Amino acid sequence: MAELVHFVHQSLDGFIEGPNGEFDWPVMGPEMSEDARALSERADAFLYGRAVWDMMSGFWPRAEEHSQDPHDLAFAPLWRAKPKVVVSRTLERADWNTTVVRGVEGVAELKAAGRELVLFGGSALAADLTRHGLVDEYRVFVHPVVLGGGKPAFPASVGRLGLTLAESRVLDSQAVLLRYRRA
């Protein structure tokens, strides 16, 4: 069966968004950007929940108009070309080479069909996929910022989960990559 990797940026205190929903704190240096690019190229499709999809589809199709950041300029063409899957109960269709599936069952079918998936961010969908045993690897980038509250990377509903450390390293002298596999 194919693998599903959960790729997430979090603060030192464990949040993926600040108290007011802000996501302006991750810094994509060259090493982190290269790591993300390599993982993205290996994936058959990018996976999103509805909220993260809305954010991503609002930026990446025209990223060059909004940013001159080297990471953004390198990732935007890859994002546009890569197949994407959105898990949503309400979204009927999505542009940019995107398929909409209704629930965790749709993701399980994609994995069973051999599709390598990377889930970018989001905690609700990640929690659902985790509870159903569908996440094979957690690729967590811990950034040097304390947000003091916000949306946790792993909500309490996930419950206890045994993992095995597969890799840890410092990227760009500022963020720590922690790669965990299901035990």
Q: What is the mean pLDDT of residues 110-139?
A: 94
pLDDT value of residue 54: 94
pLDDT tens-digit map of 66-114: 999 999 999 999 999 999 999 999 999 999 999 999 999 999 999 999 9
Which of the four CATH numbers 3.40.430.10, 3.30.559.30, 3.30.460.10, 2.40.70.10 does domain 43-151 have? 3.40.430.10
In the chain, where are the structural domains located? 43-151
CA distance 67 to 16: 22
Q: Would you say residue 165 has pLDDT above 90?
A: yes
Q: Would you say residue 137 has pLDDT above 80?
A: yes
Instruction: Please give the model's pTM, rounded to 2 decimal places.
Output: 0.94
| SS3 state of residue 166 | strand
pLDDT value of residue 107: 97
